[in-house]
Structure formats: structure tokens, C-alpha cells
Amino acid sequence: MEKEDSMKGEESIGNGSRGGNRSRGRQGKRKKPPKKSRGSPAGLEKLLNPHTVAVIGASNREDRIGGIILKELTRSHCLLYPVNPKYQALRGMRCYPSVLDIPGRIDLAVITIPASGVPSVLEECGRKRIPYAIVVAGGFGETGEEGKRLQDQLVEIRKRYGIRILGPNTLGVFFPHESFDTIFVEHGDKSLAGGGGTAVISQSGSVGIEALGLASNIGFGLRTFVGLGNKCDLDELDFLRYFAEEPGTQLIAFYLENINEGREFLETCSAVSRNKPIVGLKAGRTASGASAVSSHTGRLSGMDLVVEGAFRQYGILRVQDDEELTDACRALEKCPLPSGNRIAVLSPAGGYGVICADFIEMPHPRTPLAMARLLPETEHRLRYVTLPFASCHNPVDITASASGQMYGQAMEAILQDPGVDILIGLVFWSPPGIEDDLLDIIAQQVRQTEKPVLVFTTYGPFTDRYLLEFWKRGVVGYSSIERTVRAARFLVERRMQLERFARES
């Protein structure tokens, strides 16, 4: 009860301190949204880790959203209360005509009915003093004036009852550790079920979910996914604050199209990123509405510089697309940070070593990388553990005649060289001396070192399978040299960021 009381208490004092709304949708400039207050960040636990959940619009049909979500949630640890006047029972559970008929307290209502019916059931949720509601349906503010009026009704109910709303027009949340999942589309959930330390906040449901689905092919450590949807109430700032405190979250990633309170969000990022890395993707919306092709480029380019500058200043690691977002998260979650930017490359295929060196030495304005110079002792040691015709300079080429054991010994020699900050291992499965035990050999070296190791591997149709096997063993891998080197760049950038924070404090 204290949670609901505190939220109602805040309601009366919460107005007035919020910044401007930057949202500019395709339907023209939106009105400034009604002011709203924020619950305490800790309060989101009942949204993200609820004990009792009402599923409003639950169904026995698996082609209906209310049926899919009910089914998904039976895998969670929650006590479920299906709500639908059409049914007496669903999946063995008593089905209630309304949330008001449910005995006891409900932490979260998942509202799966179409938009037009949402205000009246949300009103009931408010009367039931349910603290959180996820509104799945689209057809609100994103669809024009009529939908906007419907969305305003939700905001008005939120004001009267203090109920906090996620959405509308959201896929909701996915919290693999508790098998709690309101997402009703294919999203690689089986591969994500292992969980991890990365919280993902996405304004677009599809961008978040499709990106995670693709990333899960090669392993992704998801702590929590939140789809913000139309952000009629809860927004990026609420979740940023929550994940900053949530002990299981090591890393925060966001995809945003607009930021409700730009300054406050950025300043919070700046504080949070001292403890947890923040990876950010901000998609521009202005281009689509601009009138002249030539002016597009100029404007976007300018906007881009502003975003670039702001992100750097406020401690956000900036990415350009969903693939880069997940690539950066994978490395930042699993790898220790390097002491510097000097990279050694180990390869049984000389050509790829050369390509990798090219990417490493490519000039880069933010995070220049360098090829490490190996000590003579290291090269001597490499000469000793590899074949006579191996190339023991960096990039080290132990040739296609290498064995797994040679690879491991070469890794160890390179990682012990004080002039090496990061090791990139190129891994191929076609050399006759390479067997699957190379996965474990590399994983063992990764466990033994305090330096970050990234691998590139490719093997036709088995590429993703090997990358996933690496991930399961704690090794971060990618299927292209460019992505591997880019991941190293994020580790270096994060190290530079922390050094800057230390200088500034």
C-alpha cells in the first residue's frame, strides 16, 4: 500500500519542474504533453518484476494478443489473473469479468484489448489501485487527432489515480531472469533466456526486438527489455534512473527517436555513466519531413554533429544503428576494459590478419587504435610455440598449419606482452589442425587474462553457431573483421571516458 500512497502523494507536487518536449511526429508538431510526476525509480520493480499480474483481454486463442501474452506469462513466476467477461476460466485459471472482481492486490495490469476499450478498463485499474499498467494496443497518439484524444484520456486517468502507464503502443517488457515477457512477436527469446547484464530501453518496439532477435543468434546478455511506445507516461528517464540503481544491470542501452526532457535526460546519463556504460542510438526524425533534397543533407549533417557532441559530453557511447548497438553491448558487458589502445592480432589466415590491421590503423577521430609492437621476447616465444614459417610480428600469422594448442600458446604469449592492450583473435575452422576444442582453449586464455579479447570467426553456415558457442564460454565474437575492430573501439572509448571522468572529478 505504501507504494500507491507515495505515488498519489507525489502527484500533487510533481508538476512544474519538467523541461520541454522535443517530440516532433510525422503528423506535425505535437502539443506539449500534460505535465506529469515521476514515481520513485525503485517503484518500477512492480512493473519489471511483478508478483501479481492481471491480463486484461486474456483469451484462449493463440492467434490473439491476449492469448499469446497469457500463454507467455504462464512461464513466469507471477500469479496471473486473466480478465475477460467472455470466459469463466482460461488455462486452468479463474477468469474475472473485471479487475475489480479480483481479490487481493495486483502489481501490474497488462491491457491487451484494442485502443477504444482501454480508457474504461484503465479506469477500473485505477480504482483497484493497481500501480502499473502496460497498454499494448496501438491506435493512440501515433495515428492522428482521434488517437491523440484517446491517449489524452489515459493521461487524465493516470492523473486521477496515480497509475503509471507504459505505452500505449508498446510491446511491453521482457525480463528473461524471471521469464517475464509480455512480448508477443518472435524475438529470439530462447537464445536470450540465459540473461545477462544489459538493460535495453527502446522507443520502437520493432527496433529493439528485431535487433535483440538478431543479436541472440550469436549471444546477447539481456537483463531487461523495455519498449517505451508512445511514452504517454513512463519514459526513458524513468527507466534510466531505475536501471542506474538496479543491481543486476551492468550496462544500459537505448534506442530513442525523441527525448522528452533532453537536458535532464542527458544530465542523468552523465551521472549514471560514471558507474555503468550507456550505449545510445538516437534516430533523427526531421529528414523525412524536409522539403528539399539538398537541404536534407546539410541539416542532418549539422544535427549529427550536435548529437555527436552532446553524447560525448554527457558520457553516452554513440552508435549508428541497431547492429552497432548490440555489438557494443556484447563487448562492454563481457570484456574487461583495456589499459590502452594497442591491439595485437592473432590469425591462422594471413590475409585476414592484414585486413584486420588495415581496420585497426584506419584514422579515427574519436578512438584511434594502434597495432601493438610485440617485445622481442614475445616474438621469440611465438617462434618457439609455432611452426618455422609462421610470421611472429603483429599481425601474427600462425598459418593454416596451426593446431589448436599452438593457437592457445600463441594467445598466452601475446597476452603476457605488456605492450598489448587488446587481443583480436581471428578464428577459422577449416585448417586441418584446428578442432572444436579451440573454443575451450581460447575460453581458458580469456579467463586467465585481465585484458580484453575479441574474436572474429566465420565458417559458412556454421558461423553463428560457433559465435554462440564462444559466447556461452564467455568469449565475445563477431562475424566480420570490421565489427570486431569496432567493438574494440568501444572498449577503448569507455576506458577514455572513465579517464576523463576521473580527471574532471
Nearer to a copy of itself (CB atom), residue 214 or residue 266: 214
Shortest spacing between CB 122 and a copy of itself, in angstroms: 21
Nearer to a copy of itself (CB atom), residue 124 or residue 327: 327
Nearer to a copy of itself (CB atom), residue 45 or residue 361: 361
Lookup: cell for 459:
565458417
Nearer to a copy of itself (CB atom), residue 263 or residue 393: 393
Shortest spacing between CB 369 and a copy of itself, in angstroms: 9
Q: Which of 322, 242, 227, 234 is nearest to 280 (CA)?
A: 322
Dihedral angle, C-alpha 139, 142, 145, 146, nearest 10 °: 10
Shortest spacing between CB 8 and a copy of itself, in angstroms: 34
Shortest spacing between CB 439 and a copy of itself, in angstroms: 16
Shortest spacing between CB 400 and a copy of itself, in angstroms: 7
- Per DSSP, the residues of 140-195 read SGGG-HHHHHHHHHHHHHHHHH--EEE-SS---EEEGGGTEE---S---HHHHTT-
Nearer to a copy of itself (CB atom), residue 42 or residue 185: 185
Nearer to a copy of itself (CB atom), residue 209 or residue 476: 209
Q: What are phi and psi of 355, to 5 degrees?
A: -60, -40
Nearer to a copy of itself (CB atom), residue 163 or residue 427: 427
User: Rounded distance, CA 159 to CA 11, Å?
Assistant: 7
Lookup: cell for 446:
580469456
Shortest spacing between CB 360 and a copy of itself, in angstroms: 8
User: Rounded distance, CA 282 to CA 253, Å?
Assistant: 11
Shortest spacing between CB 295 and a copy of itself, in angstroms: 10
Could you tell me if 397 and 404 are in contact, meaning their C-beta atoms sit under 8 angstroms apart? no
